[in-house]
A and B are shown apart, each in its own frame.
Chain A
Amino acid sequence: MIMNRISLFFAFLMLTLSSAVVCAQEVSPVDFMRLNPYQLKSNPAADLPYESVMSMVIGNIGLNVQTTTLRYDNIFDFDASGRPATVNLKKLANSLHDNNFVGIDVNENFFSLYRRVGEGMFTYDHNVKAHGALKYNDGLFQLLANGNAAFVGDNNPAHVDMNLDATVYHEFSVGYQRKVNDNLSVGGRAKLLFGFANVTTDVCDAKLFTDADTYALSIEENVGARMSLPNMVFINNKGMLDAKGPLSVGDFFHNPGFGVDFGAEYHFNDQLGVVAAVNDLGFIHWGGNDFKLDGDIHDAGQFYDNGSFLYEGIHVDQLQHIFSDKDYREKFFDTIQQYFQVQLNSMENYTTMLNTNLLLRGYYDFTPQNRVVAQAQGRFIGNGFRPAFTVAYCGTFFDNLNVCATYTAMPHSYDNIGLGLSAMIETCNIYLTTNNLVGLFKPLNTSAFNAQVGVVFNLFKEGRHTIDESGRPGYL
């Protein structure tokens, strides 16, 4: 039961800090900033006020924390000087809900080149994306914090349920945005994808039943996961995952996939408009080193009961052996572990869908420089759907400065007040945003935290058009 500090650290990282991402798919003030070329990411039909745009590497750098319930301050007891002293499992467990979520999204934009062609704009992007989502209930923490005495009876098991969906892939996209008529603009991107790694749990579920009368313990376990990794992996003789050989360049281009983004923006008049978009509609076919991880209760002897691990106590003679014979004791506990083994086997190719994002946005321009926006966005994550509702104000000042304030409500996350600033300095558009202003000061104690910075170059300054009196780029 002695936990390892490093393990704790990594567990914490997994649940919180590892979800620090450059976030493209969660709501960000960038989506609403009318001078920021990357608004095109969420709205492929957006009109950009530029003739051409280019960015390399530093175009989009950011940090995102997405955790619905887990809070740093709820994990620890702090000493008098404010330093974390011990992990308080009970406080942690009580802070969690039945359903908890940690989201992971990385979108590192290596290169972008947008160039206006005729009435529209041609776009090219090269991104590396990683996204992950861990859904978990509070069962494990409640069990650790309270013991199984809190879970007694057939209808009250300690239930540990987790679901992990993580993917890393390359994306090469080619898109085109154009104005169809005075009211309607459309845009779309076709994306060639190369998956790098994927882990998808089909099920990760365990239940511990404690009989009220006999205290008999019954464990039901079902773990099933598919994974595709760039290297051949195997379970070594220590029972740990191990991998063979170094990576090669070719490993980055296995597992082809295809995806599309498309959207439309309609202006009812000079003030009112709507945007509808679908992003990341596509799939990746994993055909490299694919494995299936299965874990269920093995029939390893006396404690196996019809697919479950059933411990009703042992015979008193056996107990005496355990207490008096060290070798017997070690062998006994080794045997216990055999009930919970997992198997890693090669498997046929499989396909995963991208986490498709649906967006519906309405906006109203009080003046050409002041816009309010209401947006409903939803994202498919595995078998789930995660909605977000955002209201935003976005103003343009001095013809160079964007200020955008947002409020976003998501399940179990209702305190997301965001702020974005964007400025044009010579040919550069420099921006800094967050979707949770409070989170800047307590980044590990908020449900969602996002900070993005980037520098985008307007290649042809003379080609930039200011927003005219109608509130739209003048050349349009």
Chain B
Amino acid sequence: MRRIRLLFVVVCLALLAMSCNKKHYNLGNVSGANMEGEVLLPLASGSYTVEDLMKRFQIDSLIAFQPSGEMSYNYQYEHLKALDADKMLHFDDYETSYTWNLDLSWIPQWLLPIDTVFHYNETIHLETEHLNVLYASLKRGNITGVVSNFDQLAQINHLTIRFLELKDANGQPLEFGLSQGSGTMEMGVENCFYESNEANVIHVELDVDFTMTEPPAHAVDLYFEVSLKDMAIQEMRGTVDNYASESRIDTTFSLFPDNISGLLEINGANMRVKERNGFALPARLVVDTALVSGEGMTPFSIFNTMPLSIDLPFSNGYVEVFDQNLTGWLTPSDNMVTATSSFIVNPDGVNDIVTVYDTCSLDVKVDVEIPLAFQADEIRYVDTVEMKLSEIEYPEWVKSLTLELTFVSTMPFNFNGQFYMYDSQTQTVNDELLDEPVAIAASFDGKPVTTTVRIVITEERLNEVMQSDSIIMEYIVDTESHDIILNAKQSLQFNVKARVEYDGVVEFENE
């Protein structure tokens, strides 16, 4: 019995030992984990040279980069065929007609039959634009001759029309032949040539060979029509009169993208003009006006003295005929250049006999080199970067996010930036990340300048920030009073690191 009591005591002790507060060990109520700490994390880094920025702005193709990093903005304007010989070398279309009233009824019967030839001569004065042609090889053109009523006069044996100064490849005058008294004759003149002692003149002969057996009853109107059309010259020898062609240039060019505004004071810009004059005659470019205008600036003349006259001598290749330094103001984008000018061939009216080919032209190239050396004031650059932060799940237990930005700059600009967290759906700015614009200091002596910025986003603001889908970055750029020279190797390096403070309960997923 004592043993049984003892066993009972042992069992009770065991039950006591194994019993415990069930609530204390009930894990069913555990909702999450309480965490409090701080995470340090590098977020992003970047390094942009000036050359990178030019590529980013998609204007690098307009920039000439030197190995040393020196850069200049090259604006090229090419005016090909400012005067085009192909358009000059032609005879104007010509058309004329002749009517002769011939009365042979008086011829007595006894004289008949008669075999005879009538011979008519006419002179054609061809018209051209400023050309006095003594010789021309023709590459195109048509001659048409129309005769009528000759067969009412008599029995026509043969009718011939001859153009004495128009000759075929063998040097024989071009002629039409017709065995009837009425009809149309047409002939192409390609590969023929014109040769005359008298400029622009063609003599036409009309020979009518006929046999008359009976006298005509009445007088007859003999009709002859001749036309020369589309007479194009491949090569011409003669003289060229003073000839002018007016030209107007309206062009817009941008140094930087549209989202940059402000004014740049440009020093040391250079304009060079090259020309190629194939006319074997002197020519001249006369610039009457050349204005630059842009938003926020007063239009000014590129050249101090107007009109500007530039002689364009004969040259088969391009030769530089003008080189002048320019100063002035430009806007970063959308500079409008308006210029009116005239191209004049043989401006002084020289009467030398020259040879001109249809391939001849007067071509002009204008190179404007704008070294990226300037002063900038209040240049404003706005960039919008899409960041769909609202799609990012972030823990609610994040108490603050501190962004630590470090900039190392060798760029000669002060960047005063402000970042706006923007919600395009509601078109509202959810948050200005910075209490005041961040100032990234410039390097005016080429030595790296470091700027550090801390952006503290509290829990309340973080919620607003994370509702955004884009960041609008606005930079106001200035060079203080420094004349700066942009170099492709100047750079802005930056890195962003984050300090995330968290304190809260990480909820467990419910299964």
- A interface vs B, CB < 8 Å? 1-6, 8-9, 12, 72, 76-79, 81-90, 144-150, 152, 210, 214-217, 311-320, 323-324, 326, 398, 400-401, 421, 423, 425, 430, 432, 434, 440-444, 451, 453
Partner of B502, one of A147, A434, A442, A444: A147
Considering the complex, give the chain B residue whose CB is closest to the CB of A2: B509
From 5 to 36 in chain B, residues with beta carbon under 8 angstroms from any chain A beta carbon are: 6-7, 10, 13-14, 16-18, 20-21, 23-27, 29-36
Asked whether any CB of chain A lies closer than 8 Å to the CB of B495, the reply is: yes
| Complex contact B10–A2 (CB within 8 A) | no
Please report which residues of chain B, range 477-507, place their CB below 8 angstroms from some CB of chain A when the two chains form the complex. 494-500, 502, 505-507
Residues of A within 8 A of B511 (CB): 4-6
Q: How many A-B residue pairs have CB under 8 A?
A: 171
CB-based contact B34/A453 at 8 Å: no
Cβ-defined contact, B24 with A84, below 8 A: yes
**B residues adjacent to A (C-beta < 8 A):** 2-3, 6-7, 10, 13-14, 16-18, 20-21, 23-27, 29-46, 385-389, 391-392, 395, 494-500, 502, 505-511
Q: Would you call A312 and B34 a contact (CB within 8 A)?
A: no
Establish whether residues A313 and B44, one from each chain, have CB atoms under 8 Å apart when the complex forms. Answer: yes
Which of chain A's residues has its CB closest to B21's CB?
A82
A109 CB to closest chain B CB, in angstroms?
20
Which of A147, A210, A326 touches B37 (beta carbons < 8 Å)? Answer: A147
Given contacts A3-B509, A320-B387, 14 further A-B contacts (CB under 8 A): A3-B32, A4-B509, A86-B30, A87-B32, A87-B33, A90-B36, A147-B38, A217-B41, A314-B43, A316-B46, A323-B387, A324-B387, A432-B13, A440-B16
Contacts of A421 in B (CB 8 A): 10
**Bound form: Cα–Cα A311–B388 in Å:** 23
CB distance from B90 to the nearest CB of A (A): 59
Give the residues in chain A near B40, CB-CB below 8 Å.
147-149, 152, 210, 215
Q: Which residues of A contact B17 (CB under 8 A)?
A: 434, 440-441, 451
- Complex Cα–Cα for A187 and B268 (A): 107
What are 16 A-B contacts with C-beta separation under 8 Å?
A2-B508, A4-B509, A5-B27, A6-B511, A8-B33, A78-B24, A86-B33, A147-B37, A149-B37, A215-B498, A313-B495, A314-B43, A319-B44, A323-B387, A432-B10, A442-B20
CA distance A148 to B23 in the complex (A): 35
Indicate if the CB atoms of A315 and B505 lie closer than 8 Å. Answer: no
CB-based contact B29/A83 at 8 Å: yes
Contact A315 B44 (CB under 8 A): yes
Main secondary structure of the interface of A (DSSP, over half): mixed
Residues from chain B with a CB closer than 8 A to the CB of A320 are 385-387
Give the contacting residue for B25; candidates A72, A77, A323, A453; CB below 8 A: A72
Distance in angstroms between the alpha carbons of A443 and B26 in the assembled complex? 14
CB neighbours (8 Å) of A453 from chain B are: 14
**Residues of chain B lying within 8 A (CB to CB) of residue A423:** 3, 6-7, 10
Chain B residues contacting A443 (CB-CB under 8 Å) are 20
Q: How far is the CA of A82 from the CA of B18 in the complex (A)?
A: 18
Residues of B within 8 A of A216 (CB): 42
Asked if B14 and A401 sit within 8 Å, CB to CB, the answer is no
> B386: which A residues are within 8 A, CB to CB?
320, 324
Contact B23 A8, beta carbon cutoff 8 Å = no
Flag if A1 contacts B395 (CB, 8 Å): yes
Given A3-B508, A434-B17, decide whether A86 and B23 contact each other with a Cβ distance below 8 A.
Answer: no
By a CB distance below 8 angstroms, the chain A residues around B507 are 2
Check if A85 sits within 8 Å of B387, measured CB to CB.
Answer: no
Interface contact A84-B506, CB-CB below 8 Å: no
Is the Cβ of B10 less than 8 Å from the Cβ of A84?
no
Q: Is the CB of B42 within 8 A of A217?
A: yes
